[in-house]
Amino acid sequence: MHSEMNQGLIVPGKISIPFSYAAGRTASRFLVELRDNQRIMGVRCPECERVQAPPQRVCLHCFVETEDWVEVGPGGRLVAHTVIYGQKPHHPAVSPLIHGLISLDGADSNFVHLIQADRPEQLFEGVRVEAVFAEDRQGHILDIEYFRPV
Ligand SMILES: [Zn+2]
């Protein structure tokens, strides 16, 4: 007797689950600034004065509320990057896609986003990168289409 008869046949499937959520006060302002003004905003902690971007309502180090908005970037330095081969349906770009960790000018936290480069040797620790904004912005993190070396 076939093992599928005893253990059950595995049938592959796919579920698509569209959803919406309320971004909240802090993320909403961040996303509206990207969409309407092509500005990357962070918040400065009143205690330690660290600037976090993307902004957090509460400082991750001091646990106090942050209200002091400051513009950061759009340039910065690449801290690290990784190249991802193999296309997956949830990937926001065509493979091979590159995720980068970016130290934006004026920020004390690192920012994760897509990187685009013509040649792999353009990407190394410390190289200057800058944000490239999408033409059609929706109030989404991908309103920054990618960062590129400059
Ligand atoms: Zn702090």
* In contact, 27 and 54? CB cutoff 8 Å: yes
Q: How far apart are CA 122 and CA 119, in angstroms?
A: 6
Ligand 1 center–CA 60 separation, angstroms: 7
* pTM (2 d.p.): 0.85
* In contact, 147 and 52? CB cutoff 8 Å: no
Domain ranges of the chain: 23-149
Summarised one tens digit per residue, pLDDT across range 38-84 is: 999 999 999 999 999 999 999 999 999 999 999 999 999 999 999 99
pLDDT of amino acid 40: 98
Residues surrounding ion ligand 1 at CB below 5 Å:
45, 47-48, 59, 61-62
Q: How far apart are CA 66 and CA 43, in angstroms?
A: 6
Per-residue pLDDT band for 1 (boundaries 50, 70, 90) equals low
- What is each CA distance from 86 to 52, 97, 121, in whole angstroms? 32, 9, 21
8-state DSSP, 37: I
Ligand 1 center–CA 131 separation, angstroms: 26
Paired tokens of 114: 């897509």
Nearest to 79 by CA among 108, 47, 45, 41: 108
